[in-house]
A and B are shown apart, each in its own frame.
Chain A
């Protein structure tokens, strides 16, 4: 029983991995200094034809997709009442909170007049009701707050153990209140991502003349919602297996195996909806005649189908290694679809082109590094992960071929 309770992992924070991350973080900080003092043109490859680059397409659009684990698991556990997946919820919420926060930071780097951002949430009389981006921005801001509330019991539970300190009192006072409000918090934690993950796709509805016909469709909101689920569930595999190997806790192979059908269903639904839209629009011809975009379209489709097929196979779920492969294919498919929609298949015409600058790539790596360090630090300090054996001598990391449960 106790093994199923989330526990802090403990242990030293500053491992070699964390040191590498700090180097990346420092490099990114230098680029960001240049960005703020010299402008976006000096540090990025973005231009008037491609006003959105890597920071939006990857850090925000792919990043929040990867951070949809908390959303996907909350729906499964709290709405469809699959209590057995409960151990996967807290780590998923943590990666979601980190992913969305990082996306928020990327936005501050990316927008030209960042000092005006505060106006967005506090000046409702200036809100433009037709702006999809406004909805995305407000929704994401609200969702970060909701995620913080959803994960707060992990922090409060640790504080509660502290005896007579002020924050222990605070924890004892607030834990029951949050517990009581949980249904509403959870409901918000599902509603808000449903809104903004679909709206991230809707952002490009207006770019009908610029987005290629295989990607531009009225179904963009639904397709982005489906990729949020696909990436959200797949990332649970990645994170569960990663934290088992990294922290030497038991593998959750059997639990993850039962999730396979759900992931496969979502991935297949995506492919069906997408082809349905292309058929209905009479654009099947474009599948074969779009040059390099034909390649990317087919690659996306292949990744989705292969991942779905693997998730349905029993042998995939025999070992964490094969589960991880399937999950990585699904993540790759979802990420590629999102990058392609925002960059590869986006063409403003007039000979514009875009490939991210070294500075943009360094900043993105720095943000990913920051997220990883924060995750590792937090699971060591707070009760996030289940199956952690406290006090026992630390076992060697489990091998990936080992099919533990």
Chain B
């Protein structure tokens, strides 16, 4: 009895050690870095006057119905947040005497959590770094909603045949030489579409021209591993709804732990071998022998 238990422990320990050493061999996990060529937006909170032209134009360009709420018998298209038919929204902030408007939409992370967690790659990094959605590969598990630190992907809760809805940076318009509709509609260059490298340069020049108007930082340059949508803000970024995320990409922890355990599938295979061996040995011993 004790002998076989010791054998079991020894075999399992050896397997564990082998599995722990093996992964060191290859470090293959790809962490996508932001590229200057990625398409993105610069959102300048200091310039936004809250006209919501971007929201209207976004609906039009993406064929989304207005989100009408009747208030006192009067219909308004004024969604409180992004939702199953709203890809971008203007919100007001009011804190410590400072107030204004801020636009929210997908941040188009360089290494996004939603893409990392998506089972069949329905959410994926498409051309120009756009975080795109392929409905045919989506099972509607909503893990992307759990994973996204910006709460961007939305689900069509009211439909029997639902899908995930999120900003895809108007990628369907590129072939016609048109780009993000929100930026096209903005009358004050508070939202500018462009390549990330150019947007960073533009943001830096705005910061340099009037440093007193902004926080001394471009949100998204390094945050969450870098995003293609960048923000300038006169107030703390958390005040305008942008969480403090550090410089690691969102999926860093989960990917490094899963990757450490499942590297090349060595650990599971070794463990399976060890378990089979111990079970087979015990099985042979027990057959015939009466249990205690």
Q: Could you tell me which A residues sit within 8 Å of B by CB distance?
A: 36-42, 46-49, 51-52, 78-81, 83-84, 86, 110-114, 116-117, 119-120, 123, 126-128, 130-135, 137, 182-184, 186-188, 190-191, 194-195, 198-199, 202-210, 218, 221, 348-350
The answer, yes or no, to whether B235 is at the interface (CB within 8 Å) is no
Contact of B160 among A36, A119, A206 (CB under 8 A): A36
Contact A120 B146 (CB under 8 A): no
Contact B159 A39 (CB under 8 A): yes
Given contacts A112-B163, A183-B279, A187-B272, contact A130 B143 (CB under 8 A): no
Contact B146 A131 (CB under 8 A): no
Contact A84 B292 (CB under 8 A): yes
Given contacts A79-B279, A83-B286, A183-B283, contact A119 B146 (CB under 8 A): no
Identity of the chain A residue whose Cβ is nearest the Cβ of B1 in the assembled complex: A81
Contact B243 A133 (CB under 8 A): no
Contacts of A184 in B (CB 8 A): 276, 279
Could you give 22 example pairs across A and B, Cβ below 8 Å? A39-B157, A39-B159, A41-B158, A41-B159, A49-B151, A79-B282, A83-B291, A83-B292, A110-B141, A111-B142, A116-B137, A131-B117, A133-B117, A135-B258, A187-B276, A190-B275, A203-B143, A206-B113, A206-B251, A206-B254, A210-B149, A218-B257
Contacts of B161 in A (CB 8 A): 113
Task: Give A90 Cβ to nearest chain B Cβ, in Å.
Answer: 15
Task: Give B56 Cβ to nearest chain A Cβ, in Å.
Answer: 22
The answer, yes or no, to whether B261 is at the interface (CB within 8 Å) is yes
Contact of A133 among B141, B257, B272 (CB under 8 A): B141
Which chain B residues in 255-292 approach chain A with CB under 8 Å? Answer: 255, 257-259, 261-262, 268, 271-272, 275-276, 278-280, 282-283, 285-286, 291-292
Given contacts A51-B145, A126-B121, A208-B253, contact A111 B139 (CB under 8 A): yes
The answer, yes or no, to whether B103 is at the interface (CB within 8 Å) is no
Contact B278 A79 (CB under 8 A): yes
- Closest CB pairs A-B (n = 8): A112-B140, A41-B157, A51-B142, A83-B291, A187-B275, A205-B254, A113-B140, A183-B280
Given contacts A119-B137, A208-B253, A209-B149, contact A126 B292 (CB under 8 A): no
Identity of the chain A residue whose Cβ is nearest the Cβ of B290 in the assembled complex: A83
Q: Which of A40, A52, A120, A182 has the most CB of B within 10 A?
A: A40
Contacts of B278 in A (CB 8 A): 78-79
Contacts of A39 in B (CB 8 A): 156-160, 162
Contact B251 A130 (CB under 8 A): yes
* Cα–Cα, bound, A120→B140 (Å): 12
Task: Give A132 Cβ to nearest chain B Cβ, in Å.
Answer: 6
Contact A42 B251 (CB under 8 A): no
Dominant secondary structure at the A interface: helix
Given contacts A84-B291, A133-B143, contact A112 B8 (CB under 8 A): no
Which chain B residues in 1-36 approach chain A with CB under 8 Å? Answer: 1, 4-5, 8, 12, 29
Task: Give A339 Cβ to nearest chain B Cβ, in Å.
Answer: 15
Task: Give A165 Cβ to nearest chain B Cβ, in Å.
Answer: 28
* Cα–Cα, bound, A269→B245 (Å): 32
Identity of the chain B residue whose Cβ is nearest the Cβ of A43 in the assembled complex: B157
Contacts of B145 in A (CB 8 A): 48, 51
Contact A205 B120 (CB under 8 A): no
* Cα–Cα, bound, A271→B56 (Å): 53
Contact B4 A48 (CB under 8 A): no
Contact B157 A46 (CB under 8 A): yes
Contacts of A127 in B (CB 8 A): 119-121
Contact A120 B257 (CB under 8 A): no
* Cα–Cα, bound, A350→B286 (Å): 60
* Cα–Cα, bound, A306→B174 (Å): 63
* Cα–Cα, bound, A84→B259 (Å): 38
Contact B151 A221 (CB under 8 A): no
Task: Give A195 Cβ to nearest chain B Cβ, in Å.
Answer: 6
Contacts of A187 in B (CB 8 A): 272, 275-276, 279
Contact A113 B163 (CB under 8 A): yes
Identity of the chain B residue whose Cβ is nearest the Cβ of A220 in the assembled complex: B257
Which chain B residues in 43-76 approach chain A with CB under 8 Å? Answer: none
* Cα–Cα, bound, A349→B4 (Å): 53
Task: Give A56 Cβ to nearest chain B Cβ, in Å.
Answer: 9
Contact of B120 among A81, A86, A123 (CB under 8 A): A123
Task: Give B163 Cβ to nearest chain A Cβ, in Å.
Answer: 7
The answer, yes or no, to whether B83 is at the interface (CB within 8 Å) is yes
The answer, yes or no, to whether B250 is at the interface (CB within 8 Å) is yes
The answer, yes or no, to whether B116 is at the interface (CB within 8 Å) is yes
Contact A117 B292 (CB under 8 A): no
* Cα–Cα, bound, A133→B138 (Å): 13
Contacts of A48 in B (CB 8 A): 81, 83, 145, 151, 154-155, 157
Given contacts A78-B282, A116-B140, contact A130 B116 (CB under 8 A): yes
Contacts of A116 in B (CB 8 A): 136-140
Task: Give A179 Cβ to nearest chain B Cβ, in Å.
Answer: 9
Identity of the chain A residue whose Cβ is nearest the Cβ of B283 in the assembled complex: A183
Contact of A191 among B245, B258, B268 (CB under 8 A): B268
Contact B158 A183 (CB under 8 A): no
Contact B116 A206 (CB under 8 A): yes
* Cα–Cα, bound, A137→B1 (Å): 37
Contacts of B259 in A (CB 8 A): 130
Contact A51 B163 (CB under 8 A): no
The answer, yes or no, to whether B118 is at the interface (CB within 8 Å) is yes
Contact A52 B146 (CB under 8 A): yes
Contacts of A198 in B (CB 8 A): 261
* Cα–Cα, bound, A40→B145 (Å): 15
Contact of B162 among A113, A186, A194 (CB under 8 A): A113
* Cα–Cα, bound, A114→B255 (Å): 26
